Amino acid sequence: ISCSIAQKAVTYKADSASKTYNGSALTKNSATLTSGSLVSGHTATFTISGTITNAGTATNTLSAVVIKNSSGTDVSANYAITKQNGTLTITQATGTISLTARTATYSGSAIAANSATANSGGTVSYTYYNGESCSGTALTSAPTNAGTYSVKATVAATTNYTSATTSCIKHT
């Protein structure tokens, strides 16, 4: 007569995490028991690797699960352990841009807007309009002739930041 003792089935999943981009790395070094149960007094520890710094997703890999009894003895061989990965997600931060009004005197040359300040390092573009509102057909370049103009600055989206546009600024 033979006797066989089957392993106890358990499933652990590396925890997922998310945040908005802030320049620091995102990690999550925990896992959750999603199926089965441990024998009373047994505890599990995990080896998890996963990190992401820029906007996007990365796998949070659960590579090892060690189960010990209350005496600290490794009893992992008594378990059929299924390991599942989690996901780390960083979303883009909101891009911001600011622009101050500019007043200039006719010089015969184009009068460009003051430099805009953006938080993202994205490419900044300027759109000029006749009059005090940013409506109608945009000018093809910065104004040269005396008059009243308006301008908007836009910073393009980057990996870590969304695009942003200033309000309409008077440019004379």
Percent of the chain scoring above 90 in pLDDT: 90
Range 109-114 average pLDDT: 90
pLDDT of residue 101: 87
Q: What is the pLDDT of residue 171?
A: 81
DSSP string, 107-135: -SS--PPPPPEESS-PPEEEEEEESSSS-
Q: Answer for the pair 2, 74: CB distance below 8 angstroms, yes or no.
A: no
* Rounded Cα distance, 170 and 172, in Å: 6
> Residue 116: is its pLDDT beyond 90?
yes
User: Looking at residues 6-27, what average pLDDT do you find?
Assistant: 98
In this structure, are strands 169-171 and 149-155 parallel, antiparallel, or unpaired?
A: antiparallel
| Tokens encoding 44 | 């599990």
Handedness of CA 161, 163, 167, 172 (dihedral sign): positive
pLDDT of residue 56: 98
> How far is it, in rounded angstroms, from Cα 36 to Cα 55?
35
114 has a pLDDT exceeding 90: no
Q: Give the model's pLDDT for residue 105.
A: 92
The pTM of the full predicted model, rounded to 2 decimals, is 0.83
Is pLDDT above 90 for 70? yes
